[in-house]
Amino acid sequence: MGKIFLIPGLGADARIFQYIDLQGHEAIPISWVEPEKQDTLSTYAQKLIDHYQITSGSIVIGNSLGGMLTMEIAKRVKLDKAILISSIKTKSEAPKSHIWYRYLPIYRLIPASLLPHTGIIVRTVMGKMSKHHQELFVSMLKGTSPKFIKWALGAILHWDNQTIPPNVYHITGDKDKIFPYQRIKNATIIKGGTHIMIYTKAKEINNWLNGIIN
């Protein structure tokens, strides 16, 4: 089996995967590299491929934004498995609000330096968290480059993927407010799963992953 690469979501780092059990397989957590202003999710995915030497036969697991990047990587590299958690496969699965935000890009009005400190707003959307998870999430958010956050928000809103490559596996929650499950096709749905179910529903996700990876 090839290597397993782990791509976190926006405002997160490798700690987002701390409850994920890969049954002893070699896992390589991916950290963000600084994007160029003109980068799209597609061109940024190529940077990750080059930087981390993601090759044919690898497994990539992406959470949220990481899942979208996983799709772009899978279009460029023949992956053994492309696994999405709390994410979307195509632009048609994105919430309708993305269309409005494209033409009314409010995020551009927020100074980049303030973006890592909007934790209370993000937590409200993410779903109920324990105090420990709140502290961890805020720590990850504050540790993310403001430049990256601002770029990623625009890149997510303008993502136009319509292609689903082979070997894609998708799991999401029925309480996800970021990517509502009603718009998502061909995914395993976790009852009570919010956008941070990678923490709160780790047991169910691990059981699902074990059946796919092993």
Residue 31 to residue 130: CA distance in whole angstroms: 25
Instruction: With CA atoms as reference, report the closest residue to 11 among 136, 174, 176.
Output: 136
CATH architecture of 4-213: 3-Layer(aba) Sandwich (3.40)
Higher pLDDT, 108 or 68: 68
Cα Rg, the chain, nearest whole Å: 16
Q: What is the pLDDT of residue 129?
A: 67
What is the pLDDT confidence band of residue 1, given thresholds at 50, 70 and 90?
Answer: low
**Burial 81-97, CB ≥16 within 10 A → b, else e:** bbbbbbbbbbeebbeee
The pLDDT tens digits of the residues spanning 142-172 come to 788 888 888 998 899 899 999 999 999 999 9
pLDDT at 10 over 50: yes
What is the pLDDT confidence band of residue 100, given thresholds at 50, 70 and 90?
Answer: very low
Q: What is residue 38's DSSP assignment?
A: T
The pLDDT tens digits of the residues spanning 30-47 come to 999 999 999 999 999 999
Residues facing residue 170 across a β-bridge: 84
pLDDT at 103 over 50: no
Higher pLDDT, 117 or 138: 138
Residue 135 one-letter amino acid? E
165 Cβ contact list (under 8 Å, min separation 6): 71, 74, 75, 79, 82
Residue 44 one-letter amino acid? Y
Span of 5-9, 48-52, 72-76, 210-214 with lowest mean pLDDT: 210-214
Q: What is the pLDDT of residue 2?
A: 67
Is the Cβ–Cβ distance between 94 and 178 less than 8 Å? Answer: no
Q: What is the mean pLDDT of residues 200-207?
A: 96
**Biggest alpha carbon–alpha carbon distance for the chain:** 46
Q: What angle do CA 198, 208, 83 make, to 5 degrees?
A: 70
What is the pLDDT confidence band of residue 8, given thresholds at 50, 70 and 90?
Answer: very high
Task: Please state, rounded to an integer, the average pLDDT across all residues of the chain.
Answer: 86
Q: What is the pLDDT of residue 113?
A: 54
Span of 90-94, 128-132, 203-207 with lowest mean pLDDT: 128-132
Domain ranges of the chain: 4-213
> Residue 39 phi/psi, 5° resolution?
-65, 145
Q: What is the mean pLDDT of residues 94-115?
A: 54
Six-digit token pair at 69? 């990047």
Taking the whole predicted model, whether its pTM rises above 0.85 is answered as yes
